[in-house]
Amino acid sequence: MIISRLVAGRSPLVRLGFLVVGLVVAFGLPWFIYPPVALDIAAWALFAVALDLLLGYTGLLSFGHAAFWGSSAYATGVVAVETGLPFYVAVLAGAVVAALVAVPVALLSVRRTGIYFAMVTLAFAQLIYFVANRWRSMTGGENGLQGIPRELFGADLSDSFYFYYAAIPLILLGLFGAWRVAHSPFGRVLVAIRENPARARALGYPVDRYKVQVFVISAFLAGIAGGVYAIGHGFASLQEVYWTTSGKVVVMNILGGMGTLWGPVLGAGVIVVLEDYLATAGIDAIGIVTGAIFVVTVLVFRRGIWGTARHLLRGRGRTGDPPPAAVRAPAEENVKEPEPH
Amino acid sequence: MNTELVQQLFNGLVSGSFYAMLALGLSVIFGMLGVVNFAHGAFYMVGAIGAFVLLDTVGMSWWLALLVVPVVLGIVGMVLERLLVARLVRLDPLYNFLLTFGIALILQDVVRLKYGVASQPYPRPALLDGSMSLGLFDYPKYQVFVLVFSIVLSVLVWLVLTRTRVGVIVRASTERPELTRSLGIDVRRWVTPVFGFGIALAGLAGVLAAPMRAVNSGMGGDLVIVIFAVVVIGGLGSVFGSVAAGYLVGMLSAIGSVYVPALSQSLVFILMALVLLLRPAGLFGRDEGVRV
């Protein structure tokens, strides 16, 4: 009973408990895990949560989020290299660039819904990839952008253990921002749009404007994550804007459980630790493993880790526990309307 | 029009042949199942690698591979549809998109582990080696063959869809599944063969690509994204639109590589942005899937 109340996360006290556990994990992580890996987990967690605002809450599958993570990684790197300002400023600048890139992409992409939205965002991300590849003077092309400094008021952050603690406030701020968005009136409208776009529109909500807004917010948060990642690694490469990166953040969402915020964080942790394990064990088959996770999760585990736990532990008496958004056919996209003759 | 431009247009038509064949398969599958097959590029790659393996191990000629590889991949496609894709067809199409994405990653990685990332050599068939005169300029025979082959193939598919009973059923099932069913036609029966046919087309394009493109595990990954842009431009589900957009994008990229070389790879995505802006359903698409 206690556990079920815990996972269901209903009472404020339980929520507070989650928060405390989350913070303890966030601050304790580099004591248990190799600090650079801990930083990767934190950055990818924020990236995955940023995507969850779109995928889980608004029901929009962006398959091109690498564009924002990556353009911020480059922009953050360029600002850090050229100005030598504290890396907080560089990351913020990178996130702003990511949001600016997202504006035209969002305005065009929301003209299509459902599966088309995924294809279109993927295609725009590939455009960004080609631009990054071509713009050698800015991005370093295939060599990447190297030698990004970890500058913070002259503090010695060369040890990744200390850098983790310098960077984690940015990540936590980003996660807090996502949580605020999801639990605001704005966030409730997003869920309404996910559930039934036609009804949301009929109620007078400018659906497309909401979609563009959450897309840009999501890109901004993905930008913070990408910027921290670039500073942490000291370089930004084409990998950051490639479609496999977009796919990786999607798999974190579906594995962890989309639409839950905590789920994508878990998903990010699992995937990053798994990749690290495979790399250190010398198993060079990350595509097969990621692909298999995709296939298995989609076939038999669509609620994801968090969603399944919550579903199992919530009392059976409660009816109307909604399955994840995409399990049901959204009203607008899938029903083929008879065409007028 | 100068000779060089005409030659570039011709180059564009040849690369457009591949876009058209791949977009055609993608579009037919989407029409019948509502599934966007992310693994389409991976099956194209498997088709090319398959031709290479058959040549390398049993010395199978390219001509025979052109027949064998699509048939085998068509069967693989049908098994895939029965085993996995069919389970998710009733859910949101995003799930099959993600499923086929996973399959694409697996196929690509398996081939990479076996054959590395370096390109495998594949000789042109002797009959199509060398070049021929096209009046204004000489052009490699093989490329001419690819172009003619793809046009004939597209026309054949078009004729099958419009002039035969099978085609009528497939089109009816695509456009009005409920009504078709109520007329006593078993729509389900056609789903699996159509999926297999689309995969076979991707494999066929791969075999055609083997003698003129770099044959490696990564050859389909970026390509499938271009194909997505092509079908968004042409109108997904519109067979004619996909093929026409394929050739159009091929020519656009070829001309772009002369006048704006820095942008040649990006032009297809810029064109897609313009189409979304001006005609969101695609150049030849119906209004399905466009917001109301």
pLDDT in tens, chain A (341 residues): 455 555 555 677 877 888 888 888 888 888 888 888 999 999 999 999 999 999 989 989 999 999 999 999 999 999 988 888 888 899 999 999 999 999 999 998 998 888 888 888 998 999 999 899 888 887 877 788 888 887 778 777 778 888 899 899 999 999 999 999 999 999 999 999 998 888 998 998 999 999 999 999 999 999 999 999 999 998 889 889 999 899 999 999 999 988 888 889 999 999 999 988 988 888 888 889 989 998 999 898 888 888 888 888 775 444 444 444 444 434 334 333 333 33
Task: Pick from A21-30, B92-101, B124-133 the range whose average pLDDT is largest.
Answer: B92-101
Give the pLDDT confidence score for residue B31 in this predicted structure. 81
Cβ–Cβ contact B138 with A under 8 A:
no
Give mean pLDDT, residues B118-138. 79
The number of domains in chain A is: 1
Domain with A147, as residue range(s), is 34-242
- Residues of chain B with pLDDT > 70: what percent? 97
Nearest 5°: the CA angle A249, A250, A253 is: 90
Is A329 in Cβ contact with B91 (below 8 Å)? Answer: yes
Give the pLDDT confidence score for residue A1 in this predicted structure. 46
Spell out the residues 6+ positions from residue B2 whose beta carbon is closer than 8 angstroms to its own: none
Residues 190-209 of A with CB under 8 A from B: 197-198, 201, 207-208
Chain A positions touching B289 (Cβ under 8 A) are 112-116, 333
Give the pLDDT confidence score for residue B287 in this predicted structure. 53
DSSP 8-state symbol, B139: E
**Quick check: A40 and A248 in contact, CB under 8 A?**
no
Spell out the residues 6+ positions from residue B60 whose beta carbon is closer than 8 angstroms to its own: B54, B68
Distance from CA of B124 to the nearest CA of A (A): 31
Cβ–Cβ contact B225 with A under 8 A:
yes
Among all residues of chain B, which has the CA nearest to that of A136? Answer: B262
* Weakest-pLDDT range from A245-259, B36-50, B112-126: B112-126
Write the pLDDT tens digit of every residue in A62-89. Answer: 999 999 999 999 999 999 888 888 888 9
Q: Find, among A190, A59, A206, the residue nearest to A118 by Cα.
A: A59
Is residue A227, in this structure, part of any structural domain at all? Answer: yes
Within B34-164, residue ranges assigned H as helices are: 40-58, 62-80, 86-88, 93-115, 141-163
Residues 37-76 of A with CB under 8 A from B: 61, 63
Give the pLDDT confidence score for residue A85 in this predicted structure. 84
CA distances from B119 to A339, B129, B212 (A): 48, 20, 12
Write the pLDDT tens digit of every residue in A173-210. Answer: 999 999 999 999 999 999 999 988 889 989 989 999 99
Q: Find, among B92, B219, B137, the residue nearest to A258 by Cα.
A: B92
* Weakest-pLDDT range from A310-319, B111-120, B174-183, B241-250: A310-319
Give the pLDDT confidence score for residue B286 in this predicted structure. 64
Cβ–Cβ contact B278 with A under 8 A:
no
Is residue A72, in this structure, part of any structural domain at all? Answer: yes
Is A254 in Cβ contact with B98 (below 8 Å)? Answer: yes
Give the pLDDT confidence score for residue A105 in this predicted structure. 93
Exposure string of B42-75, with b = 16+ CB inside 10 Å and e = fewer, is bbbbbbbbbbbbbbeeeebebeebbebbbebbbe
Query: Helix (H, G, I), strand (E, B), or coil: what is residue A281?
Result: coil
Facing residue for B229 by CB, picked from A123, A288, A332: A123
Distance from CA of A327 to the nearest CA of B (A): 6
Q: Find, among A323, A102, A105, A29, the residue nearest to A194 by Cα.
A: A323
State chain B's mean pLDDT as an integer. Answer: 86
Is B280 in Cβ contact with A332 (below 8 Å)? Answer: no
Cβ–Cβ contact B99 with A under 8 A:
yes
How far apart (Å, rounded) are the C-alpha atoms in residues B72 and A117? 33
Distance from CA of B105 to the nearest CA of A (A): 5
Give the pLDDT confidence score for residue B110 in this predicted structure. 92
Cβ–Cβ contact A118 with B under 8 A:
yes
Is residue A287, in this structure, part of any structural domain at all? Answer: no
Is residue A13, in this structure, part of any structural domain at all? Answer: no
Query: Three-class SS string for B210-278?
Result: CCCCCECCCCCHHHHHHHHHHHHHHCCCCHHHHHHHHHHHHHHHHHHHHHCHHHCCCHHHHHHHHHHHH
pLDDT > 50? residue B292: no
* Weakest-pLDDT range from A53-57, A225-229, B249-253, B262-266: B262-266
Facing residue for B280 by CB, picked from A112, A244, A329: A112
Chain A positions touching B229 (Cβ under 8 A) are 119, 123, 126
Distance from CA of B271 to the nearest CA of A (A): 11
Q: Which two tokens stand for residue B24?
A: 């055609």
How far apart (Å, rounded) are the C-alpha atoms in residues A73 and A90? 10
Facing residue for A118 by CB, picked from B94, B99, B286: B94
Cβ–Cβ contact A285 with B under 8 A:
yes
Q: Which two tokens stand for residue A335?
A: 């029903």
Is residue A314, in this structure, part of any structural domain at all? Answer: no
Give the pLDDT confidence score for residue A326 in this predicted structure. 45
Complex-level ipTM beyond the 0.95 threshold: no
pLDDT > 90? residue B283: no
Give the pLDDT confidence score for residue B240 in this predicted structure. 84
pLDDT > 60? residue B210: yes
Give the pLDDT confidence score for residue B201 in this predicted structure. 94
Give the pLDDT confidence score for residue B180 in this predicted structure. 81
- Segment (H or E) for B140: strand B138-140
Chain B positions touching A126 (Cβ under 8 A) are 222, 225-226, 229, 269
Among all residues of chain B, which has the CA nearest to that of A117? Answer: B289
Indicate the fold that domain B3-278 takes in CATH.
ABC transporter involved in vitamin B12 uptake, BtuC (1.10.3470)
Cβ–Cβ contact B157 with A under 8 A:
no
Q: Find, among B211, B214, B243, B208, the residue nearest to B227 by Cα.
A: B243
